[in-house]
């Protein structure tokens, strides 16, 4: 995979007492406003996560997917990983799970139609060991 399509890494699945967390990054070559994340789907072992209820931490600040839609003045820098906390059945350290992440980013400075920015959607699946 190239750096422009990677959303997760080998250490992206994190164990938690109340569920699990997933580290994701921007699959783009430039930093983007937080509002650029327009879709997020996460599945663990084929079970969809409730990403609408997830806490997304970027640069030390907590957000929901809905609150990101209004956050144009803050940027998600390409070197930063966001932590998406999912409340679900707890995942223990050392367990192996299949993780699927699909994320779509609106690229506000590339217009492909009338009032239509480019949509960069990336999907990645990997079997990872919870950290």
Contact 107, 37 (CB under 8 A): no
Q: Residue 43 and residue 125: Cα distance in Å, rounded?
A: 9
- Give the start-to-end residue ranges of the domains of the chain: 13-129
The count of other CB atoms within 10 Å of the CB of residue 57 is: 16
pTM confidence score? 0.93
Whole-angstrom CA distances from 122 to 38, 87, 96 are 12, 23, 23
pLDDT tens-digit profile of 30-89? 999 999 999 999 999 999 999 999 999 999 999 999 999 999 999 999 999 999 999 998
């Amino acid at each position: 995979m190239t750096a422009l399509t990677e959303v997760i890494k080998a250490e992206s699945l994190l164990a938690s007492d109340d569920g699990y967390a997933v580290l994701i990054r921007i699959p783009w070559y430039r930093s983007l406003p937080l509002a650029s994340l327009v879709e997020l789907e996460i599945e663990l072992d084929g079970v969809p996560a409730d990403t609408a209820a997830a806490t997304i931490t970027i640069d030390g600040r907590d957000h929901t997917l809905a609150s990101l839609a209004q956050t144009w003045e803050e940027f998600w820098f390409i070197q930063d990983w966001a932590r998406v906390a999912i409340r679900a059945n707890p995942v223990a350290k050392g367990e192996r799970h299949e993780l699927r992440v699909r994320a779509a980013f609106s690229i506000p400075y590339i217009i492909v139609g009338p009032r239509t920015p480019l949509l960069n959607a990336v999907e990645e699946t990997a079997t990872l060991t919870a950290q």
